[in-house]
Structure formats: C-alpha cells, structure tokens
C-alpha cells in the first residue's frame, strides 16, 4: 500500500484518498498552476495510524522520508539546515471540509540554528524571528494544546513595553526575547522543552492531525452533519512560501465571484507583509482585492487570469487562498465556494450563459429548498437581534407586528392599519381570517404540518410553530417566555426560516425575483416532463401561483370559502337547519357567493385547468367549539338564577339548542368520520349547490369570452359506487345549467385517491373517473393508520429521531408503503383507462424527494402551495435530468 503521494505524482486526484485540499493541490499542480511543492499522506494512513495505537508505522515513516528528500532535492534546501533551511506547513484536509479538526502549522522546521540560516539567506532577521515565534505559537497551541492566551499575553506585553504600533514593527531583537518567553511557557506547561529536532516536529504535527480526526469537536460536527466516521483525514506537507517577507509580499483570500450577490467580480481581501490567516484573524484591517490592482498590477493581472483558469477547470466559483512572496504569486488552496441562495442562482445562470456549464448542470447546482429564501423578505442579520425563544421553522420569511391572541382582534387591528402577529396555542380553521390579517403566525403547539404551518405556507406567510417555551394565556391576553411577559400590542418578530422569535422590530431586506431566477425557471420548464400546478382557494392566490409559473390549480379547497366571515353564519344556518326547507333556503343564499368564488378563480386561471374539490371536512368544523358552548351555557344558567329576564332566557334557549346540534354532530374520530363524499351522499343538496355554482360561473365566463377549464373532484372515495353516484349528480346539474344557458362544455369529473381501498380498486374507480388526484396527506394517514395531528404532536418526532422512520412521512412520501399504493393505483387506473390523468395534491407535491418519486411513477403533475411552485418546477427538472 502507498501511504504518501507527492502533489506532482498524482494522476487522478481522488478526494476520498487525498482529502479535498490534497486532491485540489495535486490537481492544480498537474495543470501547471503555481503551487508550492509538497505531498499528501492519505486518509488510509489516518486509519492505519489510529489502528496502530496512534503511531506512524515504519512504512509510513519511510515514505515520508522519501517525500521529504524529494522536496529537499527539488529546492536545494534541507529540513533543519543551519545555512539554508527548508520549511514546511502541515495542513489537515478531510474529504469533506470539516471545521473542528486540527489547524494548520506553518514554518515547521525552525529551531535556534535554522532560524539563523533563514535570517542570513533572506537577509531579513526580523522576518526570520517573526516566523520562528509564529511557529512556536502555532505548534504549541495546536499540537501541544497550550491555550493561545499565554502567547498573546507575552506578545502584548512586549509590544506595550517597546511601544510598537503593530506586529510588523517588532524588531528581530524583541522577537528573540518573545521567543525565549514562549519557550519558557512551553517548558512550564508541558514539563518538557519545545521539540527542536525538525523530524520530531514533523512527526508530532502529522500525528496531531491524524488524532484530531477523533477529537470531540470533530466528532460532534460529523454527527450533526451526518458525515461518516470512516472517512478519515489526510495530511498535507507543503513547502512554505512567505507573505511576511516585506512590502513586496502578502497573503489573502478571494472568491472568483461575489458569494453574496453572485455578481461576476473578484471579491476578497489581502494583507501586505502578513502570513497565513492574518487576514481572517482580524489583527489588521485587510484591503479589498481591487486595490491590489494599483499596488501590484502585474500580480493582480496574473491572479485574475488564474482565477479564470480555475473557474473554467472546476466549472464553478472558487474560493482561493493565495500568498505573494517577493513579487511571486502562489496558490495555496482552491475549492468550490459556499454562496447565498441568490448568488447560487445568478452564478449558475451566468456560468451556463458563458458556456462553462450546460443548462442541465446549472439546474442541478441548486438546492430547490434554497429558492424559498428568494421569495420572502429576509432578516438583515447585520442588525443585532434579541432572540427570546426558538420554535419550528414552519413557513419561511420574516415578519414583525404587535402581538394579538385572537383572530377577530387580529382582523380588527389589521383593518385599522396595524401590523399584527397572531399568537395562538394552535390554530383551527376558524382562525383563517386572523391568519390572513396577520403578518405572521406564532404557535406554541403543533408540528411542521399543523394547521397553522400548512395554512401559513400556503399563503406564503411566515410562521413559527411548536414554540413550547411560550406559555400562552389567551384568556388574560398575555404570554410568558422565561420571565419575560408579553401582552397584546407588544412588538415581536419571527423568522420562519429558522424558527427564531425576537423581541422588537427587525430590519428586513426585500426579496428580489431576479432575471437570473426567471431564466433558471424557464430552463427548468424546458427540461421537466412533470406538470406543476398550485393549491389555491382565492383569485389572489391563483394569480400569485400563475406568476410563479403554475400551469393550473390542482386543488381548490371549497371549505376555505365557507370560512370567510360573510359566509360562515349562512353555512352554520345550513348545517343547523332542522327542515329541508330551511336548508334549501340557506343553500340558495350560498349559491351566488360560491359562484363568485369560482368565477374569480376560473377567471384568474383563464385557459388553465382548475380542479375544484367539493366540500371535504366534517361539518362540526364550521360550528362553534363544544367546550365553549358548554361553558357559555353554564354561565347563562348562573346568570338566569340571579336575574330572570326574557333576554337571558332566550340566550340560554338558543345556546342549549346549538349545543345539542353540536353534540349530535360530534364525532369520536372526525378524520375517519362523516366527511368528503360521505357528506355528498347523505346531504346531496350541498354538493348540488357547489356543482351548480361551478357550472354557472363557467357558463358566464364562456359567455364573456373566457376559456374556463374547471374540473370537479370528489373527495374521500373508497368505493366506486360512491363516485358513480356523485358523478351522476354532478353530471345532471351540469346538463341542467347547460340547458338553461344553451351552451355545451366538457367538465372532467374525477376523484381523490386518499384511502387504501380506493388505490386497490383503482381499476373499478377509473370507470367513473376522468382523473385521479392523490391526496397524499390523507393517504398517508390512512395507510399508516396515524392521525396526523396526534402523530406529529406526540410520537412521530421520536420515531424520526430514533430512526424508527427515516423521515416524517407527512413531509416526504413514504415510498415503500404509501408510494406503493400510488403505483398500484396508477397502474390499475391506467390499465382501465389509458388516458386517465394522474396528479398529486397535498404537502408532498412541494417536497423535492417526493416530487422525484412522482416523476418516476409517471404521474402527470404535482400541485403545491403557490410559494412552492418554483421549488417544484426545479425539483421536477432535476428529477428529469
């Protein structure tokens, strides 16, 4: 086995074997870039070192000797030589960039003899002794684990005593004194003299790098980022070049493009007469890279062209470390640069336009989740934040407003122009108007797919949920966090991207839907085959979705329309009606309102399909809460016993009547109860009214010259007979409307597939369906037998944490179980009806991994909330590449 590779003998730079840094140094060497010579000890050696009980094996030592000899032969210098010494750096480098491991040691090879040689050959004693003290300081800190402050104190004292302005002003003589004090510290701290033999120094430094792979900091980092223990780290030993040799020397770091905006301009900093990471350490204020153009024009030009070369070679933006030694430029590291989401988009598009990468590569460079950040205003992190609690990052974006604990109050204040933040223990459909009115939502209970989270995401509203440090007392209108008490009207901010809750206002930077972003989306559309629709219930949402590129509405939930404050009373009348007459009367009043709803959405989506789902949730969701009514009844009884007035008696009678209705509608398990098409079958007049509203709106739009494309969807079908009957009803209403308007139009009628029985009997169901839309939220609930609200609040978290499940199945589709049902239903449905259209609505339609599965399963489209449309377009494109 070969343990050591010289940079110039590597033919295929393998990151796993050589680590990221080593592989890139070898690669740059191979391409003739100015890299100081050196060698890499492999990650395999790291394992062998640890296995041998933290020692270098004889074989390794021999190979290291050979490599050092090669460096000596090449430079004509010798390690530890008293006249012209070779100095090296020892640098760690794992296959994945990993903070927490051993830092770099520079200037290794110096001792009392070789420092004299260095002083003489460079004719610069100040530089030589500065290098020596730097070496002692770094080596002692990173290899001998002596805290850095011992050395800093000595340095400060020396500078104060001699009144030096900065490190560069320190003279050789003073450095000698400092070195003496440093060596005393080492002897005192370790009980041994500082190792002066260069070979010992080298072995100790190499060993320290290898051992640092297992230090606790590194282990924690690996755990958090799920990096395998088995990777190991490599060690790079490299000839030193010196940026601290005078004013014709320097060191710096640069990005080939701006990593924050993506602008194609060199971006970075450097320091003249400095070494290593002085730039990062903040000892002196570095200069912007642009001034290098005037300070060292020739070097600057060379650097610009090297940057270009590196970008072309790695086909990506580079983050480069460089050093200038007496007017000569050296590259010490290059890697693909980390960048903001905004920069990532711009850079990918620019590189493709410049012909460096193709469009497919540009598309694969981006993480779909990152696009989220580009669609919401974000927090200006330069301003200090007072974070008081942290919850789940449920819906990205930042929001601030005055606290309100109640949806009505939120609406009222918002109408009067106040920005409010709605805070609730958890939200219910009754809070919708409050969520609409609020800048953002904060809850103390509920998971990532709780009502508040789903609704907020759907609206693109920032939301932090499940923030259990928050104690909310809705009655008293206050909440406490630790010992901070917050009341209505207090200014609070949330960051839905991280889950932070902050006191006071925050500064926001607005989102920019850049040209690059639009371009990238157009490329995504060229590549993908999976359609992307949006879930939208209002014309505003529909328009937003369209502007983000949705090709239709995959799910228009009619219940949200029933929740609007002007309808809710009529809806309640309809539900509570004791006679058919009363019910018909209420429905007649609802009809024009529903018609307007559908008119608005179909108009906004002119020419694009709009899938309208008939009423789905159990009716009690539209009624007042049972407990509240019980409490109210008790209060009224007490009041009645105190004063017998007509008024109180009426109120009590009314409340008691309502209560008995609510009791009658109460269900043990509403999720599996009287909802969906089960309502349609038992109360056909409701679906009839909805169908009529759809068709009348359609007729009207056609008459006005529009091209409405409604599709009617029946929810929660489990047996074909349910669908057959509902279809009959809808078709009958359609014919009636067409007859009256003397018009003909086709309206596809389909169903959701959201219970296992529907999936298994998809062939039968396909008889009566023009399309299937997989309602993966309910399908997941019914397949696992989990009630989502209970699961997320109670055990699902533990399941995922302890790896019973790999992921939350409500966020990412469970391919093996739920996914199998999707595949079965698709196959059986299409066997019966080859042209059957297949789509997905539900949270999974906006999840990258799930989208990839839906693409592979041959579905026609996914539907997700408007703000997720760009993510879905990109994910669908990536799935197709």
Q: Which is nearer to ligand ADP, 106 or 759 (CB)?
A: 106
Burial class (CB within 10 angstroms; exposed 0-12, middle 13-18, buried 19+) of 789: middle
Is the Cβ of residue 24 or residue 857 nearer to Mg ion in the bound state? 24
Q: What angle do CA 504, 509, 510 make, to 5 degrees?
A: 120
Alpha helices in 225-296 (DSSP H): 278-281, 292-295
The footprint of ligand ADP on residues 273-312 (CB under 6 A) is 276-277
Q: How many residues bind ligand ADP (CB under 6 A)?
A: 17
Subset of 315-344 contacting ligand ADP (CB under 6 A): 321, 323, 332-333
As measured in angstroms, the least distance from the Cβ of 277 to Mg ion is: 6
- Give whichever of 103 and 537 is closer to ligand ADP, judged by the CB atom: 103
Choose the one of Mg ion, ligand ADP, none that binds residue 106, judging by a C-beta under 5 to 8 angstroms depending on kind: ligand ADP
User: Residue 115 Cβ, how far from ligand ADP at the closest point, in Å?
Assistant: 17
How far apart CA 789 and CA 805 sit, in angstroms, is 17
Q: Which stretch binds ligand ADP (CB under 6 A): 103-111, 355-363, 400-408, 607-615?
A: 103-111
Nearer to ligand ADP, 334 or 558 (CB): 334
Find where tokens 């930042």 sit.
398
Strands 378-379 and 508-509: antiparallel
CB of 103 to ligand ADP, least distance (A): 6
Closer residue to ligand ADP, CB minimum distance, 240 or 758: 240
Q: Which of 238, 538, 611, 698 binds ligand ADP (CB under 6 A)?
A: 238
- Decide: 188 and 182 in contact? Cβ < 8 Å: no
Binding segment for ligand ADP among 61-69, 233-241, 713-721, 754-762 (CB under 6 A)?
233-241
Q: Does 241 bind ligand ADP (CB under 6 A)?
A: yes
- Nearest Cα neighbor of 335 from 91, 141, 143 is 91
Query: Measured from the CB of residue 25, what is the shortest distance to Mg ion in angstroms?
Result: 11
Alpha carbons 347 and 547: distance in angstroms, whole number? 23
| CA–CA dist 146, 148 (Å, integer) | 6
Choose from ligand ADP, Mg ion, none: what does 541 bind? Cβ within 5-8 Å by kind.
none
CA 785/CA 770 separation, integer angstroms = 28
Among 24, 42, 104, 768, binds ligand ADP (CB under 6 A): 104
Please give the Cα distance from 141 to 122 (Å, whole number): 27
Instruction: Output 103 or 316, the one with its CB closest to ligand ADP.
Output: 103
User: Which parts of 672-753 fold into alpha helices (H)?
Assistant: 677-682, 684-703, 720-741
Q: Verify binding: residue 36, ligand ADP, rule CB under 6 A.
A: yes
Contacts of 301 (CB under 8 A, 6+ apart): none
- 442 contacts which partner out of Mg ion, ligand ADP, none, CB within 5 to 8 A by kind? none
Whether residue 451 lies in the annotated active site: yes
**Spatial CA neighbour of 146 closest among 158, 156, 137:** 137
Under the binding rule (CB under 6 A), the answer on residue 37 touching ligand ADP is: no
The HSE-up count of residue 677 (CA atoms within 13 Å, CB side) is 26
Q: Cβ distance 105 to 138 under 8 Å?
A: yes
225 is catalytic: no
State the binding partner of 251 from Mg ion, ligand ADP, none, CB within 5 to 8 A by kind. Answer: ligand ADP
- Token digits for 204? 């100790």
- Among 407, 392, 517, 382, smallest CA distance to 800 is for 392
**Shortest spacing between CB 469 and Mg ion, in angstroms:** 35
- Should residue 24 be labelled a site residue for Mg ion when binding is judged by CB under 5 A? no
User: How many residues belong to the site for Mg ion (CB under 5 A)?
Assistant: 2
CB of 236 to ligand ADP, least distance (A): 7
Contact between 783 and 817 under an 8 Å Cβ cutoff? The reply is yes
User: How many whole angstroms from its chain centre is CA 22?
Assistant: 30
Distance of alpha carbon 566 from alpha carbon 432, whole angstroms: 13
**Phi and psi angles of residue 493, each rounded to the nearest 5 degrees, phi first:** -125, 150
Going along 220-310, which residue ranges are E strands? 234-239, 250-255, 267-272, 287-288
Handedness of CA 813, 814, 820, 825 (dihedral sign): negative
Instruction: Mark the segment that binds ligand ADP (CB under 6 A) among 236-244, 591-599, 749-757, 788-796.
Output: 236-244
Q: Are 438 and 462 in contact (CB under 8 A)?
A: no
CB 502 within 8 A of CB 495: yes
Closest C-alpha among 284, 321, 260 to residue 104: 321
Nearer to Mg ion, 24 or 538 (CB): 24
Choosing from 620, 841, 855, 864, which is the catalytic residue? Answer: 841
Contacts of 581 (CB under 8 A, 6+ apart): none
Helix (H) or strand (E) holding 713, with range, is strand 709-714
**Which window, 102-110, 192-200, 471-479, 851-859, contacts ligand ADP (CB under 6 A)?**
102-110
Q: Is residue 333 at the binding interface for Mg ion, with CB under 5 A as the rule? A: yes
Nearer to Mg ion, 102 or 605 (CB): 102
Shortest separation between residue 242's beta carbon and ligand ADP, angstroms: 7
Q: Which of these segments, 232-240, 335-343, 355-363, 496-504, binds ligand ADP (CB under 6 A)?
A: 232-240
Least separation in angstroms between residue 271's CB and Mg ion is 15
Of the candidate residues 78, 91, 222, 855, the single one contacting ligand ADP (CB under 6 A): 91
Question: The tokens 């290059």 sit on which residue?
Answer: 334
Between 324 and 388, CB nearer to ligand ADP: 324
What's the Cα-to-Cα distance from 233 to each of 254, 390, 458, rounded to whole Å?
25, 35, 45
Of the residues 24, 42, 140, 251, which one makes contact with ligand ADP according to CB under 6 A? 251
Tokens for 22? 């080593």
CA distance 458 to 437: 14
The answer to whether residue 143 forms part of the interface with ligand ADP (CB under 6 A) is: no
Which residue is catalytic, options 307, 376, 451, 620?
A: 451
**372, 867 Cβ separation under 8 angstroms:** yes
User: Whose structure tokens read 């990993």?
Assistant: 98
User: Which range binds ligand ADP by CB under 6 A, 54-62, 203-211, 234-242, 679-687?
Assistant: 234-242
Q: Pick one of ligand ADP, Mg ion, none as the site partner of residue 813 (Cβ within 5 to 8 A by kind).
A: none
* Identity of the residue, 124 or 333, whose beta carbon is nearer to Mg ion in the bound complex: 333
Radius of gyration (C-alpha) of the chain in whole angstroms = 35
Q: Which segment (46-54, 100-108, 212-220, 395-403) binds ligand ADP by CB under 6 A?
A: 100-108
d(CA 785, CA 776): 13
Lookup: tokens for 155: 């340095």
Q: Which of 60, 138, 240, 375 binds ligand ADP (CB under 6 A)?
A: 240
Least distance to ligand ADP, CB of residue 25, Å: 10
CB of 169 to ligand ADP, least distance (A): 22
* Span near ligand ADP by CB under 6 A; candidates 45-53, 99-107, 209-217, 402-410: 99-107
Minimum distance, C-beta of residue 129 to Mg ion, in the bound complex (Å): 24
Stretch that binds ligand ADP, among 239-247, 283-291, 732-740, 805-813 (CB under 6 A): 239-247
In the complex, residue closest to Mg ion by CB? 333
Which sequence positions are flagged as catalytic?
Answer: 451, 841
| Residues that bind Mg ion in the complex, under the rule CB under 5 A | 321, 333
| Residues that bind ligand ADP in the complex, under the rule CB under 6 A | 36, 89, 91, 103-104, 106, 238-241, 251, 276-277, 321, 323, 332-333
């Amino acid at each position: 086995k070969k343990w050591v590779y010289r940079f110039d003998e590597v033919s295929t730079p393998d990151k796993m074997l050589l680590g990221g840094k080593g592989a890139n140094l070898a690669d740059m060497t191979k391409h003739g870039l100015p890299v100081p010579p050196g060698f890499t000890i492999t990650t395999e050696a790291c394992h062998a070192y640890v296995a041998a009980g933290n020692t270098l094996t004889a074989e390794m030592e021999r190979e290291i000797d050979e490599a050092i000899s090669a460096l000596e032969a090449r430079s004509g210098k010798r390690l530890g030589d008293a006249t012209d010494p070779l100095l090296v750096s020892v640098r760690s480098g794992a296959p994945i960039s990993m903070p927490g491991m051993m830092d770099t040691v520079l200037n290794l090879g110096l001792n009392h003899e070789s420092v004299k040689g260095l002083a003489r050959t460079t004719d610069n004693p100040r530089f030589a002794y500065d290098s020596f003290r730097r070496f002692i300081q770094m080596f002692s800190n990173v290899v001998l684990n002596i805290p850095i402050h011992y050395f800093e104190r000595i340095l400060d004292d020396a500078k104060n005593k001699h009144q030096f302005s900065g490190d560069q002003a320190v003279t050789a003589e003073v450095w000698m004194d400092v070195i003496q004090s440093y060596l005393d510290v080492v002897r005192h701290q370790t009980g041994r003299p500082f190792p002066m033999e260069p070979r010992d120094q080298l072995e100790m430094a190499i060993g320290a790098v290898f051992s640092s792979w297992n230090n606790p900091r590194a282990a924690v980092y690996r755990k958090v980022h799920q990096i395998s223990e088995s990777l190991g780290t490599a060690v790079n030993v490299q000839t030193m070049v010196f940026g601290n040799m005078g004013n014709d020397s320097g060191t710096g770091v640069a990005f080939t493009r701006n990593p924050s905006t993506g602008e194609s301009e060199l971006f970075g900093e450097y320091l003249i007469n400095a070494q290593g990471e002085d730039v990062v350490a903040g000892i002196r204020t570095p200069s912007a890279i642009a001034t290098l153009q005037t300070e060292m024009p020739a070097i600057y030009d060379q650097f610009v062209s090297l940057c270009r070369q590196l970008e072309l070679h790695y086909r990506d933006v580079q983050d480069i470390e460089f050093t200038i030694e007496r007017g000569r430029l050296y590259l010490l590291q290059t890697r693909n640069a980390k960048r903001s989401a905004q920069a990532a988009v711009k850079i990918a598009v620019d590189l493709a336009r410049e012909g460096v990468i193709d469009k497919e590569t540009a598309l694969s460079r981006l993480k779909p989740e990152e696009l989220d950040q580009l669609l919401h205003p974000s927090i200006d992190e330069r301003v200090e934040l007072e974070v008081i609690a942290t919850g789940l990052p449920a819906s990205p974006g930042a929001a601030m407003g005055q606290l309100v604990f109640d949806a009505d109050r939120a609406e009222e204040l918002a109408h009067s122009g106040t920005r409010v933040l709605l805070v609730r223990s958890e939200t219910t459909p009754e809070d919708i108007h409050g969520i609409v009115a609020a800048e953002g939502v904060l809850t103390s209970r509920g998971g990532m797919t709780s009502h508040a989270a789903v609704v907020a995401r759907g609206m693109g509203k920032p939301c932090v949920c499940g923030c259990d440090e928050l104690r909310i007392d809705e009655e008293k209108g206050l909440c406490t966090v630790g010992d901070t008490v917050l009341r209505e009207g207090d200014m609070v901010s949330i960051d839905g991207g991280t889950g932070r809750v902050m006191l006071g206002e925050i500064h926001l930077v607005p989102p920019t839907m850049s040209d690059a972003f639009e371009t990238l989306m157009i490329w995504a559309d060229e590549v993908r085959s999976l359609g992307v629709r949006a879930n939208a219930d209002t014309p505003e949402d529909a328009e937003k979705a369209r502007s983000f590129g949705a090709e239709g509405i995959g799910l228009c939930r009619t219940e949200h329309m029933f929740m609007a404050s002007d309808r809710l009373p009529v809806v309640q009348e309809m539900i509570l009606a004791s006679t058919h007459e009363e019910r018909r009367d209420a429905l007649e009043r609802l009809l024009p309102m529903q018609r307007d709803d559908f008119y608005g959405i179909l108009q906004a989506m002119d020419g694009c399909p709009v899938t309208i789902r008939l009423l789905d949730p159990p009716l009690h969701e539209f009624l007042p809460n049972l407990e509240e009514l019980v409490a109210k009844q008790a209060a009224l009884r007490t009041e009645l016993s105190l004063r017998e007035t007509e008024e109180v008696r009426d109120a009590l009678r009314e409340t008691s009547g309502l209560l008995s209705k609510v009791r009658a509608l109460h269900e043990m398990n509403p999720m599996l109860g009287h909802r969906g098409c089960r309502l349609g079958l038992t109360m056909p007049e409701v679906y009839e009214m909805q169908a009529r509203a759809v068709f009348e709106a359609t007729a009207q739009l056609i008459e006005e010259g529009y091209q409405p494309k409604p599709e009617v969807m029946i929810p929660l079908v489990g047996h074909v007979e349910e669908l057959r009957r509902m279809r009959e009803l809808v078709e009958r209403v359609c014919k009636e409307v067409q007859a009256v308007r003397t018009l003909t139009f086709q309206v596809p009628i389909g169903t959701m597939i959201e219970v296992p029985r529907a999936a298994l009997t998809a062939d039968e169901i396909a008889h009566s369906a023009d399309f299937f839309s997989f309602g993966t939220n309910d399908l997941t609930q019914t397949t696992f037998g989990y009630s989502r609200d209970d699961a997320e609040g109670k055990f699902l978290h533990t399941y995922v944490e302890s790896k019973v499940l790999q992921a939350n199945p409500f966020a990412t589709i469970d391919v093996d179980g739920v996914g199998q049902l999707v595949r079965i239903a698709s196959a059986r449905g299409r066997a019966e009806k080859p042209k059957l259209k297949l789509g997905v609505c539900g949270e999974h339609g906006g999840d990258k991994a799930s989208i990839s599965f839906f693409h592979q399963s041959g579905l026609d489209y996914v539907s997700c909330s408007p703000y997720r449309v760009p993510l879905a377009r990109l994910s669908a494109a990536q799935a197709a590449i």
